[in-house]
Amino acid sequence: MPRNILLLPGDGIGPEIVAEAEKVLRKVNDDFKLDLHFESALVGGAALDEHDDPLPDETLDKGRKADAILLGAVGGPKWDGLPMAKRPEKGLLGLRSNLELFANLRPAILYPQLASASSLKPEVVSGLDIMIVRELTGGIYFGQPRGIRNLEHGERQGYNTYAYTESEIRRIGRVAFETAQQRGKKLCSVDKANVLEVTVMWREIMEDLKREYPDVELTHMYVDNAAMQLVRAPKQFDVIVTGNMFGDILSDEAAMLTGSIGMLPSASLNSDKQGMYEPCHGSAPDIAGQGIANPLATILSAAMMLRYSLDEEEAAQAIEAAVSKVLDQGLRTADIMSEDGKKVSTREMGEAVLSAL
């Protein structure tokens, strides 16, 4: 069965890292006879430069038709001064919302080979394996009304709306409970139910769902406490579920606990299992074009794509095993370099994964 993969290199280091992940995907495509077909398109700043639009119709069309999307990263100082509608990030947000990619899965895993990269003490993070399930198409990112208005007495007011409907909460809740069922069966729902009404309803619905998943232990935590607990004792968590904004903050905090965010992939799925896959790190404009970025998070995102959208578990595991092998070989890009590592470029890392496959 032929499947279409859309490659969206995007901005900054995006093109460099997606190029390596593409090679890896093409190799497993041949090895495992996956019948994958590749297209590519512009998004973010790259699309702004070319079409004055961070999400051109052509890109969105191709996205709709694709079985899965592999994205590099978007954004950079070049486009920072632009009005909201013309920001690279709008390309990313537009894809998420138009394709209804409401379920964002962000693992925070500490690779044993990279344990020393963490700023936390080894005993606090060794063996860390958390999955953050972030709602991605609702909440304050998309709530209406929003904008900047003139008040009667002459000054301006900026405003955004943090809103969720019951069904939006329910569908992300189900993904989280199911994810927990396949893992350690512990789900922590993060909210600010002592202050925000929208999260009072969030908590209610999570409690309601619990009855359908009796094998999963559900707890609740306020977001400020969650931000603390991730620092204090991150291994207490198995799966965390939360809204778009809190998920943005906590998933980045959790990723950084590993000290090697250049290793962490992510998946954004809709209810048809169509998905967009991207590294957790950003476009890193400061090192773009130098050939030193770490392509492993993008390569691991390709593995997630094979697992979640294409049902090719074997190929996914082959990639993950290959990545583990290159780490065992001591190969390190600059961001994860350690004393006894062998420093390699983006391309050399990609080639090493290819050989390890």
Ligand X SMILES: CC(C)[C@H](C(=O)O)[C@@H](O)C(=O)O
Q: Residue 128's closest CA among 105, 107, 115, 110?
A: 110
What minimum distance in Å lies between the beta carbon of 280 and ligand X?
8
DSSP letter (8 states) at residue 119: S
Find the binding residues for its own copies in span 261-280 (CB under 8 A): 261
Q: Is 164 an annotated catalytic residue?
A: no
Q: Which range, of 88-96, 116-124, 205-213, 322-330, touches ligand X by CB under 6 A?
A: 88-96
Residue 7 belongs to what H/E stretch?
strand 3-10
Beta carbon nearer to ligand X, 67 or 248: 248
- The site string for its own copies over 15-54 (x = CB under 8 A, - otherwise) reads ----------------------------------------
Long-range contacts (CB closer than 8 Å, 24 or more residues apart) made by 142-146: 142/93, 142/97, 142/244
Strands 129-135 and 147-150, sheet pairing: unpaired
Catalytic residue, chosen from 30, 35, 61, 224, is 224
CA angle (227, 241, 269) in 5-degree steps: 125
Question: Which of residues 11, 20, 67, 248 is near ligand X by CB under 6 A?
Answer: 248
Q: Which stretch binds ligand X (CB under 6 A): 38-46, 52-60, 89-97, 176-184?
A: 89-97
Under 8 Å between Cβ of 62 and 6: yes
Query: What string of DSSP letters covers 261-286?
Result: GGG-EEEEE-TTS-EEEEESS---GG
Q: Does 248 interact with its own copies (rule: CB under 8 A)?
A: yes
Q: Which residues contact 279 (CB under 8 A, 6 or more apart)?
A: 17, 72, 73, 262, 264, 265, 266, 297, 298, 300, 301
Please report whether residue 321 would count as binding its own copies according to CB under 8 A: no
Site for ligand X contains 135 (CB under 6 A): no
- Interface residue with ligand X, options 66, 92, 169, 323 (CB under 6 A): 92
User: CB of residue 315 vs its own copies: minimum separation in angstroms?
Assistant: 31
Give the other-Cβ count within 10 Å of 140's Cβ.
17
Q: Phi/psi at 252 (nearest 5 deg)?
A: -70, -40
Residue 255, SS3 per DSSP: helix
308 is catalytic: no
Chain position carrying tokens 């590592």: 341
Residues binding its own copies (CB under 8 A): 75, 84, 87, 89, 93, 119-121, 124, 140-141, 143, 146-148, 151, 155-167, 192, 194-202, 223-225, 227-233, 245-246, 248-253, 255-257, 259, 261
Residues binding ligand X (CB under 6 A): 75, 89, 92-93, 194-195, 224, 248
Q: List binding-site positions for NAD(+).
A: 76-89, 282-294
Q: List binding-site positions.
A: 76-89, 96, 106, 134, 224, 248, 252, 282-294
Residues designated catalytic: 141, 192, 224, 248, 252
